[in-house]
Amino acid sequence: MILLTTFNARFTHASLGLRSLLANLGPLRERSGMVEFDLETRPEEAVERVLLARPRIVGCGVYAWNTDLTTRMARLLKRLRPEVILVLGGPETGFALDDHPLAELADHLIVGEGEVAFRALAEVILAGTPPAEKKIFAPPPDLHQLALPYAEYTDADLAHRQIYVEASRGCAWQCVFCLSALDARVRRFPLPALLAGLEQLYARGARRFKFVDRIFNTHREQAATLLDFFLDPARADAFLHFEMIPDLLPEAIRERLAAFPPGAVQLELGVQSFDPQVLRAIRRRQDPDKAAANLTWLRTATRVHLHTDLIVGLPGESLAGFAAGFDRLVALAPHEIQVGILKRLAGTPLTAMEAAHGYVFSPDPPYELLANDRIDFFTMRRMKRFARYWDLIGNSGRFTQTLAQAFCDRSPFEVFLSLSDRLFATTGETHGIALPRLFSLVGECLAGQTEIDTALEQDMRRAERPVRPARATPPRQQRALGRLSSC
């Protein structure tokens, strides 16, 4: 028996990686199974469910968010059933586990895309001739030869969980903080087979499709064909998520994005920084002015939900530089701004830049930046809280009028950093703040202006009204930052 498992970040996520492995096991598929956990699962419970399947081989997906839980599960598994062969795969197996206890517990580690390599390994193990090497390097498979994994989603998955799909692998961009920088090749799945797989998912009831492609919009013909597939009136109730490069928006893609109804499409746009020098330092070939113009067009000419990203701590970017980028992005009015702290992923080019920029990263997952030559530890802690409070307040869609008034004729970054500092000084908390208390706290911290008090009352009344869920509501509310730039 072969059992595949992982700890997903949350229950609503369904592992595309495990399903891809299952779909490509060939004759071994009949002797295999899968069990998924989330971060709330206790290791003892996970081991119990794993051992109930009486596996000979356990394949486990390892990611930055689940390394500790996977280690605890693996330790218990090996104490209880040392004869079980533990095979690890996923992003963390390439470099991050070289000196990690989890690597000692594993019998084999597969580095790279594992569909072909895992099947080959399982075959020789079950034949009684396991390889001597512990780390197995898997070359990128031919995507035209892989079986697509979409039949591995169960009806329960389709009804209750995020459905991940992919049109391509790899990334032509080589950002120094990303594992995709290690392979600049972009490989695409055969379009006829992909469309057939999507059609089958839709026919079975799937309505939420999250494309995991790093750069969905770089191949305009493929992107246009896929957008046309979902623009078909027969599939008008689907919700789509794409990650796109913000400064690349050819006319063929513009026309199609403008045709989607409200609530149908969410775009994740990795702005990261507006500073050309910083973009060059991270090897991101991005035109910040063109990115800003495209965001303006998307906000005004489409009904697409815009999720954008900025990163704190990029090489050469000071706090003032980040603040300027944040203020510029707020003025562009995306629906969400995710403020991320730079992370050190083992094996990325960023690791070679640590000394030059004075980087100090946490040794524990998710390996976030603690300090660098531009931002000290205490300021980085303030920015960590800033990011959390922004998610609670700025991205929630519940404080639109309040923030619009607070930001009038002032730097949004300075206003919100001050609010963040006051909130933490008052509560000492960044989690578990109930909404009524949060409204009260924001009111106390911003008190003193009649316009803000009035706006807060309007936001509170709106929050008290029950909201009927939209046909295809994105993961977070679709109200919010669109009105923050207007007074």
Q: List the domain boundaries for the chain.
A: 2-137, 162-375, 397-487
What's the confidence (pLDDT) of residue 475? 39
Interval 387-398: pLDDT, tens: 999 999 999 999
Contact 470, 478 (CB under 8 A): yes
| pLDDT at 129 exceeding the cut of 60 | yes
Contact 53, 24 (CB under 8 A): no
Give the chain's length: 487
**Which amino acid is located at 226 in the chain?**
L
60 strand-pairing partners: 5, 88
Residue with tokens 């578990």: 432
What's the confidence (pLDDT) of residue 485? 36
**Cα dist from 290 to 76, 245, 273, whole Å:** 53, 11, 13
| pLDDT at 315 exceeding the cut of 50 | yes
Say if 2-137 and 162-375 have the same CATH topology.
no
Give the mean model confidence (pLDDT) for residues 35-48.
96
| pLDDT at 93 exceeding the cut of 60 | yes
| pLDDT at 462 exceeding the cut of 70 | yes
CA distance 18 to 35: 9
Residue 428 has what DSSP assignment? S
- How many other C-beta atoms can be found within 10 angstroms of the C-beta atom of residue 386? 26
**Cα dist from 79 to 47, 62, 283, whole Å:** 11, 20, 45
- How many other C-beta atoms can be found within 10 angstroms of the C-beta atom of residue 15? 23
**Cα dist from 219 to 214, 240, 307, whole Å:** 12, 18, 21
Report the CATH fold assignment for 2-137.
Rossmann fold (3.40.50)
What's the confidence (pLDDT) of residue 477? 37
| pLDDT at 312 exceeding the cut of 80 | yes
Interval 274-301: pLDDT, tens: 999 999 999 999 999 999 999 999 999 9
Could you tell me the pLDDT band of residue 463, with boundaries at 50, 70 and 90?
Answer: confident
What's the confidence (pLDDT) of residue 487? 40
Give the mean model confidence (pLDDT) for residues 186-197.
96
Instruction: Tell me the three state secondary structure of residue 482.
Output: helix
> Nearest to residue 28, comparing CAs of 121, 167, 110, 163?
121
Could you tell me the pLDDT band of residue 96, with boundaries at 50, 70 and 90?
Answer: low
**Cα dist from 451 to 333, 470, 483, whole Å:** 21, 31, 15
Could you tell me the pLDDT band of residue 98, with boundaries at 50, 70 and 90?
Answer: confident
Highest mean pLDDT among 118-122, 178-182, 471-475: 118-122
Contact 236, 209 (CB under 8 A): no
Contact 2, 59 (CB under 8 A): yes
What is the CB-side half-sphere exposure of residue 66 using CA atoms within 13 A?
28
What's the confidence (pLDDT) of residue 97? 73
CA distance 272 to 216: 17
Pairing of strands 57-61, 239-244: unpaired
The residue that leads in pLDDT, 214 or 359, is 359
Token pair recorded at residue 321: 């530089």
Could you tell me the pLDDT band of residue 365, with boundaries at 50, 70 and 90?
Answer: confident
Average pLDDT, the chain: 92
Residue 111 has what DSSP assignment? E
What's the confidence (pLDDT) of residue 184? 64
Interval 14-33: pLDDT, tens: 999 999 999 999 999 999 99
**Which amino acid is located at 229 in the chain?**
F
Percent of the chain with pLDDT over 90: 82
33-36 CB contacts, 8 Å cutoff, 24+ apart: 33/1, 33/2, 33/3, 33/4, 34/3, 34/4, 34/5, 34/152, 35/3, 35/4, 35/5, 36/5, 36/6, 36/7, 36/8
- How many other C-beta atoms can be found within 10 angstroms of the C-beta atom of residue 464? 10
String of b and e for 45-79 (b: at least 16 CB within 10 Å)? ebbeebbebebbbbbbbbbbbbbebbbbbbbbbbe
CA distance 188 to 218: 11
Report the CATH fold assignment for 162-375.
pyruvate-formate lyase- activating enzyme (3.80.30)
| pLDDT at 88 exceeding the cut of 60 | yes
> Nearest to residue 249, comparing CAs of 301, 209, 208?
301
The residue that leads in pLDDT, 96 or 60, is 60
